[in-house]
Chains A and B, each alone.
Chain A
């Protein structure tokens, strides 16, 4: 049985400057998003994610879950409103500051986005390489993580040689290998069986226990219910308050 997230669905009165953004890891204030001249896919989103929180993001297909995650991982800019990330107004961030913000976020993409020419090991270690770490410093950690997600025998395999479930686990390993402060996952259990889904959920819970803020977009009602974590529910691009879902 899931419970609705403890999110604020009313606009805050605070001014959108950097000082007012201290506190929550993620803050949305009146955020809207449209692609080109099309109608808004996200409308008036206002919520906050506190450090160390764990939320699920639910909603029907096309409700805007992936778009919301893309706003948080800085792949998109909002059409209106304010987004705060780690206490910074993202609209005021310079381009050369974005990579350092992104390194604090781990993302499991719905389409996985694995690099076909790299081995499982090299795919997982990518965030560590980009952060400037050397292979001798992370070799053991990456190998251990691959073992944990059950890919220790496929460490040299290219993504094309892996099954859908193995690719999904690889994508998750890549997202968490750098111990991100914020973990975003878009349907992370879509291609795995229930046992592996629970195992992945346990990994996310463990990371959350270590301090990582987690937001998971999922269709898996069983998993959401079993987790007992708060839920952000999107309907037609809007966040629906507690108890109003499906109304």
Chain B
């Protein structure tokens, strides 16, 4: 029996591109590092968003009313009337006059405990809790106090809220910017690698062309290779980022790394998209580059 007959029939074709070489390993490493940084930026963006949302909820969910007694009215009486007036406003869940001791406690960090507070006229404060779904507006509460003839100033924390929202938006934009920058860097690396690959495989490309391969078929070979490599790099980068984020979560206790950047386990879920995103970016970059280069070939 001849060797030909003994040979097992083939059922698979060999890849048209040569197997990966040492340069491909370096490319995987570079893209994996970029993916790691991009993933960390995404986790940071999610954490920043959660922190900003928490602060916003806290600030927008309450208001403080400074009450000034009129005429012969006592401070306690004015505060009680203010609390009563506000409690009936739609969007207010609770309004209660703060005990003078509590007001003093609020001032202690700035003025100390050495008796100065006893000599000062401590303003009476009313604490107002707002309905988080439909909070009462500043104008509505002011109107209610005016109607009850209470001289008061309402602090709805809007000044702080704006700053918090701005800070949260900046942190989010910065993190997204970093992630986009990393994606662009990964695309640039892929473009460079595709150019190098096409140049190095000029002989192969020429044979494929002359044997009747279409540009998109040849570009598809490079697209598939770089998409596969980028997916692997994306997986490595995402796993590394997940480890870093998990370490931060565990090191920071239940609140996360710090109260400023709270992390939840669910924040790691978006990292699962990293291999897909990396493959998509690499595929698009490789295809565009290969098609551009092939057009310049005979």
Residues of A within 8 A of B (CB): 73-77, 95-96, 99-100, 102-103, 107, 113, 115-119, 121-122, 125-127, 129-131, 135-136, 139, 143, 147, 152-153, 155-156, 174
Chain A interface mostly helix, strand, loop or mixed?
helix
B210 touches A102 (CB 8 A): yes
Among listed B12-20, B32-40, B105-113, B180-188, interface-contacting one: B12-20
CA distance A102 to B208 in the complex (A): 10
Among listed B114-122, B154-162, B212-220, B239-247, interface-contacting one: B212-220
B4 touches A155 (CB 8 A): yes
CA distance A32 to B136 in the complex (A): 87
B211 touches A136 (CB 8 A): no
Chain A residues whose CB sits within 8 angstroms of the CB of B203 once the complex forms: 113
B13 touches A95 (CB 8 A): no
B3 touches A153 (CB 8 A): yes
Residues of B within 8 A of A (CB): 2-4, 7, 9-14, 16, 18-19, 203-204, 206-215, 217, 295, 298
Not counting A99-B212, A129-B16, a sample of 11 additional A-B residue pairs whose C-beta atoms are within 8 angstroms of each other reads: A75-B210, A99-B213, A102-B210, A103-B212, A113-B203, A115-B207, A121-B10, A122-B13, A127-B211, A139-B9, A155-B4
A100 touches B212 (CB 8 A): yes
CA distance A177 to B3 in the complex (A): 22
- CB within 8 Å for A122 and B14 given contacts A95-B295, A143-B4, A153-B4: yes
B149, chain A: closest CB distance, angstroms = 84
CA distance A141 to B11 in the complex (A): 14
A94, chain B: closest CB distance, angstroms = 12
CA distance A75 to B208 in the complex (A): 12
CA distance A152 to B4 in the complex (A): 6
Chain B interface mostly helix, strand, loop or mixed?
loop
Question: A130 is contacted by which of B14, B19, B204, B212 (Cβ under 8 Å)?
Answer: B212
B36, chain A: closest CB distance, angstroms = 32
B171, chain A: closest CB distance, angstroms = 49
CA distance A99 to B11 in the complex (A): 26
7 example contacts (A-B, Cβ-Cβ < 8 A) are as follows A117-B14, A121-B10, A126-B16, A127-B211, A127-B212, A129-B13, A155-B4
CA distance A122 to B10 in the complex (A): 10
A130 touches B298 (CB 8 A): no
Most buried by A among B12, B14, B211, B217: B211
B13 touches A77 (CB 8 A): no
- CB within 8 Å for A107 and B210 given contacts A122-B13, A135-B10: yes
Chain B residues whose CB sits within 8 angstroms of the CB of A119 once the complex forms: 14
Chain A residues whose CB sits within 8 angstroms of the CB of B214 once the complex forms: 96, 99
Residue of B nearest to A129 (CB): B13
CA distance A136 to B9 in the complex (A): 9
Residue of A nearest to B3 (CB): A153
Question: B11 is contacted by which of A100, A122, A136 (Cβ under 8 Å)?
Answer: A136
Chain A residues whose CB sits within 8 angstroms of the CB of B208 once the complex forms: 126, 130
Most buried by A among B4, B10, B208: B10
